[in-house]
Amino acid sequence: MKKIAVFGSVNIDYFVESKILPKAGETVSGENFFMNFGGKGANQAVAAARLGGDVALFGSIGNDDQKNILLEHFKEENVDVNYLNVRNDVSTGAAFIQLCESENRIIIVPGANQYTNRKYSEQHLENLLNYDLFVFQLEVPVDALEYLIPILHSHNKTIILDPAPAQLLSNEILEKITYITPNEHEVSIITDDIGDKDGLLAKYPNKLIVTCGKYGVKYHNGKEVVTVPARRVKAIDTTGAGDTFTGAFAVALSEGMPLHDCIVYGTYAGSLAVMKKGAQSGMPRKHEMNELLEKEGRRLES
Ligand code: RIB
């Protein structure tokens, strides 16, 4: 099994659940408030570790009230955080999430995540090169990715980018990434191409993998556009569903599954994740996935 390094953000998520969302200048009553573990990097690392991946998380947290809780959590989840950057000068990243009818709106305050930057990457380059498969998102400074991706590419590493929150990326970077997993909104932003989506998929065969929520996942297999259908479930909270997909996809790749099966594995994991509130609460463990795949008669190659 290949070793996975997730390079990205760590947040504490602060959820407010309400039946309606306030307009500007309006006050509404919420139904529920809760805190949970989050951050796209941490979510992807936990998703991959729960499914049996050999995972390390490269990221930053503050030396604050959250530090020990987070370190304990990562230990319980089998995520190696030996290289985590603990900062005295700033607090752990925070995400403020409005949850309304299973949809979310998120504001993030980066805090320590801003130090998961080029300098931190330079300091850990040797450690990073011990891993085989890399997972990035865009909640940390892009200078880190601009520095690391060309080096990792030159070492023939497998590189996955979940480009969220979306921003325009240079062709030079895009071409060095092995798999890109945007959702249907992010895909036009990262490529600056608002044209025909199938044409865009054909431009990046077996590489651009677009998650479309309940409409499934689309990619081009070199001959045609393929849609991997989503499992039909009642979604309670979609926060972290994309992260679960990417984490599960990474584990499947690390185990040597063919691309199509890696995508199926990701959609199954995502379908379970949305059935509980909170980004990490519903992420499945390996035995739950195996039981579900077996029950639905899905045989994936490994
Ligand atoms: O993708 C979901 C995540 O986005 C949340 O956990 C939140 O922390 C934000 O980073």
Report how far apart the first and last C-alpha atoms of the chain are (Å, whole number).
Answer: 11
Instruction: Tell me, using a 6 A CB cutoff, whether residue 141 lines ligand 1.
Output: no
Whole-model pTM?
Answer: 0.96
**Fold for the domain defined by 3-20+31-295:** UDP-N-acetylmuramoyl-L-alanine:D-glutamate ligase (3.40.1190)
Distance from the alpha carbon of residue 279 to the mean position of ligand 1, in angstroms: 7
Predicted confidence (pLDDT) per residue in 218-245, tens digit: 999 999 999 999 999 999 999 999 999 9
Phi, psi of 7 (to 5 degrees): -115, 110
Predicted confidence (pLDDT) per residue in 81-116, tens digit: 999 999 999 999 999 999 998 788 999 999 999 999
Tokens at 137, concatenated: 């998102």
Selecting among 64, 80, 237, 243, the annotated active-site residue is: 243
Q: How far apart are the C-alpha atoms of 246 and 226, rounded to whole Å? A: 18
Q: How confident is the model at residue 122 (pLDDT cuts 50, 70, 90)?
A: very high
Q: What is the mean pLDDT of residues 278-302?
A: 92
The yes-or-no answer on residue 243 being catalytic is yes
Residue 134 has pLDDT above 80, yes or no: yes
**% of residues, the chain, pLDDT over 70:** 99
User: What are the boundaries of each domain within the chain?
Assistant: 3-20+31-295
Instruction: Tell me, using a 6 A CB cutoff, whether residue 186 lines ligand 1.
Output: no
pLDDT, position 195 = 67
Could you tell me how many helices (H) and strands (E) the chain has, helices first? 11, 15
pLDDT, position 230 = 93
Predicted confidence (pLDDT) per residue in 57-89, tens digit: 999 999 999 999 999 999 999 999 999 999 999
